[in-house]
Amino acid sequence: MSLLNPYIRLLLLSAFLCTTSSISADETSLHNLPNPELANVWQAQSSPSDFLVSEKLDGVRARWDGERLYSRSGLIIAAPHWFTKGFPDEPLEGELWGGYSSFDQVSLIARGLTDDDAWRTIQYWLFDAPAAAGGFEQRYHHFQAFERLTPYLRVIPQTRGTDVNALQQRLDDIVTRGGEGLVLHQRNAPIVAGRSPYLFKFKPVDDAEAKVLAVLPGNGKYAGMMGSLLVETAEGVRFKIGTGFSDAERRTPPAIGSWITFAHNGVTSSGKPRFARFLRVRLDYELSHDAN
């Protein structure tokens, strides 16, 4: 019974989010957009010479269909008209981002839990234009011009990969200043719906998403609070996560059915994440079947 009150609070909070959120179900299909392209994990000893390399922004992924913004799974992100005024009338892929350590605030903005003025603190950072002709490098040169259209539209810089040591040094520099990692995109790559063999992420630790199946009670100093979560990945792998939580998060744990992001150090022979630890609840989207 000691966990009942936090559950009630979570149910009330969920109801509030559903009624106030700026992310809502779309009544039409995203006919202008393919399924989102998703990255694989980069193998550190591979040569990056045939790739364009960019910083991986820890923002809220957003898809522009030429008229409005959507979350990765197709929910409308109701950005103010003045924010998207001047955006081109073609599909774009990017991240809503407000700088380092801003993910939680950007999530609140995208969900409509702040006033419209908060949108002035973020920008839409482009990393692809799926309807443009050619391979990725050609598409990049195409959408670079969009940065001149509006101050709320920016382009994530891409540079040619050179060698393994330079790539590792760039990763270290980005992580030192608070960044998440790198993205590597094969220069001549076509758009691929779903998991792409031409797109990779390179980070100091792996992370992934999982759905909360159960909240398990704690013992000892965690008596009366959450002890761990039983979760399941999109691939159907079930496991428990019991570390990475603050006491406040243990008193009010993630809701059953919500999606969380967790860090891990690879996987075991049975496919379970090794040393999994909680990072955060994913508030920015309803996770589609794949995670990037």
Kindly list the catalytic residues: 56
Q: What is the DSSP letter of 130?
A: T
How far CA 252 is from CA of 41, 196, 284, in Å, comes to: 32, 37, 19
Q: What's the farthest any 2 CA atoms get from each other in the chain?
A: 60
Q: How many CB atoms lie within 10 A of CB 160?
A: 12
φ, ψ for residue 146 (rounded to 5)? Answer: -70, -20
Q: Please state, in angstroms and rounded to a whole number, the distance separating the CA atoms of residues 91 and 81.
A: 17
Q: What is the DSSP letter of 88?
A: -
Specify the 3-state DSSP secondary structure of 46.
coil
86, two tokens = 């001047």
80, two tokens = 């103010």
Q: Please state, in angstroms and rounded to a whole number, the distance separating the CA atoms of residues 144 and 155.
A: 6
Q: Please state, in angstroms and rounded to a whole number, the distance separating the CA atoms of residues 265 and 205.
A: 6
DSSP characters over 227-270: EEEEEE-TT--EEEE-SS--HHHHHSPPPTT-EEEEEES-B-TT
